[in-house]
Structure 1
Amino acid sequence: MEANGQELVSEELQKVLLSTNLSLLKSTLDEKDENHERSIGKEYEEELELDDHTLNRWTPLLRSAIEHESLSVVMEELYTSIETNFENLESQILHDSQLSDNLTVSVDHITSIKELIDQSLLREVEDLQLQLAHTTNDVITRKQNYINNKKTSTKIAECIILINKILQILELSNKCQDLIKDGSYFKALQSLGGLEKIYVQDFKNYNFDFLKTIYASISDLKAKIKDESINMVKNSFNSNLERRLLPVGSKYYDFYKDNLFQKWQTSKHEMKLASFKFNSPVEISLRDSGKLDTLNVSEIYPLNEFYDCILIFQNLKAMDYLCTEFRKEYDFRMSKVVYPLKLKGHNSSKKADQILQVAAAFGENLTLVELKAYLLRILGFVIYDNHLNRSTEILRSFGGMGINEDFWELFVTRFTPFLEYYVTKSVSSEDGLIELKDFLGIYIAILENLNVNVDQINKIHVLLFKKYAALLLQVFDVEFSTLLDDDDFMPLTINDKTLYEKVLKICWLRGGEPDHVLDEESNHGPFFATLPFSPLYPMSCTLIKKTYNKLITFLSEFYRYDLGELNQIIIQTIDDIFSKVINHKIGSKLDTTSREEITQILINLDYFIVAAKEFGAILSRENITQNPDLELTLPSLKLLTQSRNLSETKLIELIDTKISDLMEFVEFEWSSEEVEQEPSFSIRDIAQFLEMMFTSTLVNLPDSVKTLLIFREFDALTGRFLDVLLYSSPPMLSPQSVLNFELNMNFLESVISKLFPHEESFPSVPSSPDLDGAHTSDNARSSNLVDNTIRSLHSTFTDLRQHISFLKSPDIDEYKDPSIRMRKYPRIKPETAQLLHKKMVPPVSAGADSVNSSSMDQSFADSISSHKRIAKFFNRA
């Protein structure tokens, strides 16, 4: 770079030199005097001044050389340049003496100039050095001032920053106060955090009293924020719980009842989903989710205060304090919500005393409307509680137990005994039980959807059904008692065909028997039908079915749990109807002495046994547990059977008593010498009584019962007459008396044919065309059965006939012949034969015996024709 600069200077110097007026230099040099250097210099300067153009061109080059400290180099270059530029002029100059002189003078002058320049430059350098020293000192002074000023400026800047931060602290302090006044506690806490951070980072080491005061007030402000935040939560409780619980609970209940439940009723009917209950998975799946959005609990119960409070105490790292204070406040709010019930405190150890305490708190006159309002208020709090738990889970994590579970479990444990007491003591009407059942059904559905435990409230729901079943049983008892008191204990006679068909549909009839007994004067004549049972039976069947339908209807919508227990209640209620009401009430009528009433009671009981069997089958088939393998027999069936047997025994006793009374009037003339042509009046009375009893009074008894009674009575009757013959007759019997006795016994036996007419054993019912064959077969079987029964009844007189036959021919030797005895007298014992023989053969001589024997045989012979006439009279040829 330096070489290049020098080359440029040389080039410039050469150009300046070439353009210099050499004549000027020559004339100037001639006039110079070595002795007058100073004056020459002055003149030179003057000349130079005269030629400003030349001076101006030389000055920059010389100045540049001086600045670069290359003046000597410029001089050398000048010489070199002269030699180079003027070497061609050398010959000219040499030839030109004047020019040569001038050059000589010029060289001297140049040398003088050089010296002048050197001296000038030295002076200038000295001046420059002085100036530079002065300038340097000035710069050093200025720099020192600058440094000092810079430090001052920095301190000023720092002061400005510090002042700004102090202003910021003051602003944050004022803002915090304003935010606390406005209730923006979390923002106020954030402002305090910023204030505290600024102070710790920037002013901790400063001794500013007012800042220390502000910093010291932070703890007080935080404490105030904590207190105000807790008060904010308390105010939230006041606004959300004091006035809104009942409206919110009512809103939820009305939505479920008027919207979801009604919609389900329609859908269940249209889709044939009768076996599914409200709030079941099927019903929930069919709900319109859009309608559920109307129950936006976040809008109903806003929790902004809780969110702020949680953030505040998280920031303060004081969640334990928040949870403790919250628990206290929440307990207080819960106690206000459940008032007058007490969730905590001393209670009697006896459950009965606890119930009475709670009942006294609520008052004995608590109405159902007031109870529902109270439960709806509790529901509103449960909804709030559930929403609070889900939205502020941190409170649960710090509390160790869900607030919702704590409250509901505590409440339902304390309230359920009272609710049980209330249902038992205060709800006594059917409408009241149904109303409370529907209310609790929807109430439980809401609680289930809130995921709370409903086991204990479900028990109250089951208790309602028990109370309802007991009430229906009581109502049935009253109505049945009225029906029983109004019953005429006569077969039911109907002259209205529509009513008749309705009764057949209502009643359960015996298997294998005709559906009805129908008498019509003609196909177009007046309708008339007689049914075996009294009006009590169809009316009771109606009541039983009505009661059963009410029980099923009661359970049809809401009961989804404890189905086994509920089914057992249904079974027990129906069983109690048959046992504790029907059986007991009818059993109380068995003290009557009327054979007609006892007979009708026996018939009714027989049909009630059929009803109990059929209802057991219905309960097995239609059980609410939907268990197809359930087989049920009502325990009351055994009691009804016992009562039926008791009524049968009572009837037998009455018949036996009547026959015994009639038997007291029976007298036989065992010494009679005359053969009677007609039976005695006492025997006629007995025969008439038996005929009337079995063809009229007992005609509607079941065939088996009636046949059994006939067998028993004829068997007992023949036994009694046999005893009369054997033990009540005198030691000696006349042959005529034996024939008279036989006449009476034959008359009694003739009653059998009147009890079972050959034409038709039971009134028949016209059969449909497709069942004629079966009907004919039934008639044939019935006819054979009647024939067998008649033959069996005649066999009850076999003993009497054999004993009478022996008396008519009292040959002991004939009896002793085994072949004859087994053929003629198989039922006569040897001692009895000996007794009868003595009654007919007196102990006299052989001749006398022969005479008496022949005369007695003649008497029997004479009486035979008379006996045949009597037998013909009674159609027993």
Structure 2
Amino acid sequence: MPAIIEPHDEFMGAVQQIILSSSETDYIDQLIPVMRDLRNSERAGHLIQALNQVSNDRQAEIERICNTNHQEFINSVNQLQHVRQGTVDLTAEIMSLSQSIEASTEKLAEQKRALVDSRGVRQNIDDATQALKDCLEVLRLANQVHDLLQEKNRYAALRALDELQNVHLREVTRYMIAGMIERSVPATQRLIAEAVMADLNTWLFRIRETSQFLGEVAFYHTEMRRTRHKMRFEENPDLANFKLNSAVEAVADESEEFDVLNNEEVQVDFSPLFEAIHIHDALGQSEKFRQDYSATRRRQKELLLPTSLDLLDEDAGELSTLLESIAGFAIVEKATMLKTENLRSSADVDELWDSMCQSAITLVSKSLPAIDNDERLLKIKGVIALFVQTMGSWGYSVDSLDKLLLTIFDKYAQLLKQRFSEDFQEIVSTDDYMPMPINNPDEYDKVINVSWYTPEKDREQQNFPCVLPFSQMYPLCCIDIRNFLNQIYLFSDDHFQNTGVIDDTLKSSLDDLLCHKVCQSLVERLSSQYPGQIVQILTNLDHFETACRELQDLLAEARSSSSAAGPIVLAATEEFTTAKKAAEKRIFELVNSKIDDLIETAEYDWSSTYEPSAASPYMQELTRYLSDVMSSVLLGLPVQIKELIYFDALAHISNAILALPLDPSIRRLSPQSVTAFRLDSEHLIEFVRSLDNPVLMEGLDELRQTVELMAVAKEGEGRAEEEFFDVEKGRKRFGKVDKMSGAELLEKVSQGVEAQKAAAVAQAASPVADKKSTMNFPAFASRFKKDKDAS
């Protein structure tokens, strides 16, 4: 059978858990779920019944335990009773002892009251003694403040006064002496501030007096840095690209330490300034002191600048003094800003610097127009450049001074240009326009070194005395050109930012000098009637053209601006080229004019029946003139130009000679006149052939072929016309002959031949007339030949 479960048994487990709870909170937590499950009063009764059963079980357990230990419990109770009896006895003894102590305490209290009374009297005495000591200490400190002030130990005096006011006076505030000293503190502080300001004003006055010498020392130090830097980049050319005050220069020169403010020459002690700053800071007057100091420095700056500046002295002494004073003043300002806090701001220092720079620039600009010497301007530039480099090392902006240097350079370039203009003009006007004689090797070397000229012979092969192709003006102008370049580039040796301006100014100035003062002056002299002078001018122009081309390369290599690139082209090069052409044309004109004069003396009798055996006198004179021109007048010209002139002269002669038989007034040409014309032409051709120059011979091809055509035509067989008008034959034999001119000459020669044949027929019909003609003509011809020989 299954076991019967009592109704309260289902709550026994929950009740056991509730009883085992460690705390009241856990007990409640365990009880709440059980109570939630009670749905009616019957189940609640079951829970109560379960709890009662547990309670009864525990009570029975307690009784069982108590029954087991009853005798031990009785023994413990007896022991507690004995202990309680002992405690009562001890309490009685303690009460007795307390009464005894109370009696002795009354006596001690009486003694203590007596002691307290004696101590109060003694404390009053001690207090009076201490008060007297405190007052004496205050008086001592007050006197010490005045002693320190007299000893000029003002900061210590101020600190002592502050200690007196904030420490010692507070200890004696209840005494009248404290009030008296308290009222004297402001007056004492004013005495200290006035004494400090007096020392500071003295220091500022000395600083103003020392500024010029301080600037001079700074300039000297910068000059020494320049020298060391120059020596370094001479040893290492790579350093030449780094200027003074650059990072590379600063690192290279850091071993040479030099304190401008503290050295063997000058010492600037900032102690008075520091003391004034500390004292005014302690007085709470820092802002007022800063404003007063700033106003004082502005007044000193105004006293530093003169009302006018004289730049006409040779050493630029006044300018040096002014810039040294400004430099010293600015160095002290920068050092003050670096050594102090909040006394001098960067804006204040820069404002004073800009003001001084603008004043100096104004003074210099007003005095510049009076300067008419470029060397003096170079010295002025050197002083300003030294000033710029010195102040650049202290971190000051020098942009406005760079603009001043640019203005000075413009003035410098104008003066240089004016001076060299006069030199060039004098050289050109006083030249003898003759090839330059050289007497010895020293003269030769000097001329070659300064001139852009490459001799045909080596130095060892040159014989002396000798003659150079150009006249004396060319090397003199070359010397001036080199001097002009050196003078211009001198301006860029020191600090000068606008190097591109130097290059542009140099190029434009050189162009102007060479074009207007040299080239134009030479062109003006081309109006001369002396061929030798014109030839010399042409030779000089050719060398000047070569010099310009060399200058272009030289300027491209030596230009200051590293950013510029590409070739440099001088306008003067083209000007000299054009002038050469004008000179060549002028020589052509003179030579051709003389040729025309000689050809005009030609007296051809185109209807003559006399056949000469030699060239005409005018042709002999003409070839003699050409020979003389070649060997004397044109001797100094370059070969190309000489050949060109000769070629043009021969072409002109050829054209002029060919024009003689083509004259419209001449209707026919006799065979004898053709022979005379051929003899003259062949004489000229042989002369040119003797020159052994195929190019010159080509210039006479038309004359030679035309004369040959006329010689063939005079035979009267019609062969000339057949060959000339045949395309293939004419091209081979008479290709240079003009078709129209050749046809006209063939017609005239043909008519001359026909006329002579007609005259021969008429003479055969009239023997008398023929006899007269035969008898008279030789005599006439002989006399004509004598007259021509005489001329």
TM-score by length of 1: 0.65
Look up the equivalent residue of 1:710 and give its one-letter code.
Y
Q: State the alpha-carbon separation in 2 of the partners of residues 306 and 297 from structure 1.
A: 20
Matched-pair contact (CA < 8 Å) for 1:519–1:528: no
Structure 1 segment 749-788 matched on structure 2, within 5 A: 749-754=685-690, 756=691, 758=692, 786-787=693-694
- What is the deviation of 1:570? 4.8
Structure 2 Cα separation of the partners of residues 313 and 838 of structure 1: 125
CA drift of 1:237 comes to 0.6
Shift of 1:244: 1.4
- The structure having more radius of gyration, on CA atoms, is 1
2:703 aligned to 780, 797, 802, which one?
797
| Contact 2:710–2:746 (Cα < 8 Å) also in 1 | no
What amino acid is aligned across from residue 546 of structure 2 in structure 1? V
What is the Cα deviation at residue 708 of structure 1?
A: 1.8
> How far does the alpha carbon of each residue in 1:555-600 deviate from its partner, in whole angstroms, 9 at most, with x for none?
45x3474444444455555555544543344334333332211111
In the aligned structure 2, how far is the partner of 1:739 from the partner of 1:426?
A: 79
The residue number in structure 2 matching 1:675 is 611
Q: Deviations over 1:588-623 (max 9, x none)?
A: 433333221111111111112222222322333444
Q: 1:230, 1:325 within 8 Å by CA — same for their partners in 2?
A: no
Sort the Cα spacing of 1:832 and 1:570 in 2 relative to 1 into closer, same or farther, 3 A: closer
The residue type paired with residue 414 of structure 1 is S
**CA distance in 2 between partners of 1:313 and 1:146 (Å):** 55
For 1:495 and 1:516, how far apart are their aligned partners in 2?
Answer: 17
Task: Quote the offset at 1:546 in angstroms.
Answer: 4.4
Contact 2:714 2:750 in 1 (8 A): no
Post-superposition shift, 1:329? 0.9
Aligned mate of 1:611, from 547, 550, 555: 547
Question: 724, 727, 748: which one pairs with 1:839?
Answer: 748
- Between the aligned partners of 1:463 and 1:809, the Cα distance in structure 2 is 86
Alignment partners' CA distance in 1, 2:592 and 2:147: 110
Partner of 1:197: 166
> Which residue, out of 453, 456, 462, partners 1:514?
456
Q: CA deviation at 1:480?
A: 3.6
Of the candidates 362, 369, 394, which is equivalent to residue 342 of structure 2? Answer: 394
Indicate the residue corresponding to 1:48 in structure 2.
none
Is the contact between residue 371 and residue 377 of structure 2 (CA under 8 Å) also seen in structure 1?
no
Structure 1 residues 693-721: Cα deviation after superposition (integer angstroms, max 9, x where no partner): 23321122222222222222222332233
Q: Is 1:309 paired with 2:256?
A: no
Shift of 1:482: 3.7
CA offset at residue 305 of structure 1?
1.6
- Asked if 1 retains the 8 angstrom alpha-carbon contact of 2:651 and 2:700, the reply is no
Counterpart check, 1:597 vs 2:529? no
Task: State the Cα distance separating 1:544 from its structure 2 match.
Answer: 3.3
Q: Hey, what does 2:69 align to over in structure 1?
A: none
After superposition, what is the alpha-carbon deviation per residue over 1:298-337, rounded to whole angstroms, capped at 9, x for unaligned?
A: 9711111211122123223332212211111111111112
Contact 1:583 / 1:640 at 8 angstroms: preserved in 2?
yes
CA–CA separation in structure 2 for the residues paired with 1:465 and 1:371: 17
* Residue aligning to 1:186: 155
Distance in 2 separating the partners of 1:751 and 1:390: 93
1:448 to 392, 401, 405: 392
Letter in 1 for 2:262: N
Partner Cα distance (2:286, 2:704) in 1:
107
Which shows bigger deviation, 643-652 or 828-837?
Answer: 828-837
Matched, 1:539 2:508: no
**What residue is the counterpart of 1:113 in the other structure?**
none
Equivalent of 1:721 in 657, 660, 664: 657
Q: CA deviation at 1:740?
A: 2.7
Report if aligned partners of 1:462, 1:566 keep a CA contact under 8 Å in 2.
no
Q: How far off its partner does 1:644 sit?
A: 1.9
Give the AA of the match of 1:689: Y
Match of 2:216 among 236, 250, 255: 250
Structure 1, gaps ≥5 residues long: 1-128, 341-360, 521-525, 759-785, 857-861, 863-877
Matched to 2:551, the amino acid is F
Per-residue CA shift, 1:609-641, capped at 9, x if unaligned? 222222322333444557897543433222222
What is the distance in 1 between the residues matched to 2:664 and 2:548?
Answer: 49
| Alignment match, 2:201 | 234
Question: Structure 1 residue 648 and structure 2 residue 554: aligned?
Answer: no
Letter in 2 for 1:428: N
Residue 332 in structure 1 maps to residue 332 in structure 2: no
What secondary structure, in the 3-state scheme, does the structure 2 residue paired with 1:527 have?
Answer: coil
RMSD over aligned CA atoms reads 4.3
Contact 1:173 1:192 in 2 (8 A): yes
Aligned pairs, how many? 659
Q: State the alpha-carbon separation in 2 of the partners of residues 722 and 552 from structure 1.
A: 60
The answer on whether the counterparts of 1:495 and 1:528 sit within 8 Å (CA) in structure 2 is yes
- How far apart, in 2, do the equivalents of 1:527 and 1:296 lie? 66
Q: What is the distance in 2 between the residues matched to 1:807 and 1:559?
A: 85
- Aligned residues of 2:519 and 2:576 also touching (Cα < 8 A): yes
Report the AA paired with residue 497 of structure 1: P
C-alpha distance in 2 between matches for 1:573 and 1:681: 55
Unpaired segments of 5 or more residues in structure 2? 1-102, 764-773, 775-791
Cα distance in 1, alignment partners of residues 167 and 453 from structure 2? 100
Cα distance in 2 for residues equivalent to 1:272 and 1:384: 36
Separation of aligned partners in 1, 2:222 and 2:414 = 29
Deviations 1:656-698 (A, max 9, x none): 3333444444443333332334444444444333332233211
Q: Distance in 2 between matches of 1:843 and 1:535?
A: 59
- Give me the whole-angstrom Cα distance separating, in 2, the residues matched to 1:855 and 1:742: 28
Give 1:151 deviation, angstroms.
4.0
Give the SS at the match of 1:725.
coil
Q: 1:796 to 1:330 in 2, by over 3 A?
A: farther
Partners of 1:817 and 1:427 lie apart in 2 by 80
d(CA) in 1 for partners of 2:577, 2:267:
64
Pick from 677, 686, 702 the counterpart of residue 638 of structure 2: 702
Aligned to 2:373: 428
Contact 1:518 1:528 (8 Å CA) reproduced: no
Identity over the aligned pairs, expressed in percent? 20
Instruction: Check conservation: 2:311, 2:367, Cα contact below 8 A.
Output: no
> 1:608–1:214: structure 2 CA closer, same or farther, 3 Å change rule?
same
Is the contact made by 2:647 and 2:696 (CA closer than 8 Å) also made in structure 1? no
1:638 aligns with 2:582: no
**Structure 1 residues 675 and 418: alpha-carbon distance in aligned structure 2, compared to 1, 3 A threshold:** farther
For structure 1, which segment, 487-496 or 263-272, has the greater mean C-alpha deviation from structure 2 after superposition?
263-272
Q: 1:460 and 1:364, CA in 2 relative to 1: closer, same or farther beyond 3 A?
A: closer
Corresponding residue for 1:300?
Answer: 267
2:443 pairs, out of 499, 503, 510, with 499
What residue is the counterpart of 1:24 in the other structure?
none
Q: Output the CA distance in 2 between the equivalents of 1:393 and 1:808.
A: 118
Deviation, structure 1 residue 213: 4.8
Return the offset for 1:170. Answer: 3.9
State how far apart, in whole Å, the 2-side matches of 1:822 and 1:427 are. 73
Residue in 1 that maps onto 2:331: 383
Distance 1:850 1:337, change over 3 A: closer
Decide whether the 8 Å contact of 2:646 with 2:696 is kept in 1. no
CA distance in 1, matches of 2:197, 2:524: 73
Cα distance in 2 between the residues matched to 1:508 and 1:490: 18
- Contact 1:533–1:600 (CA under 8 A) maintained in structure 2: yes
In the alignment, the residues of structure 2 paired with residue 836 and residue 569 of structure 1 have an alpha-carbon distance, to the nearest angstrom, of 64
- Look up the match of 2:85: none
The answer to whether the Cα contact below 8 Å between 2:389 and 2:495 also exists between their aligned partners in 1 is: no
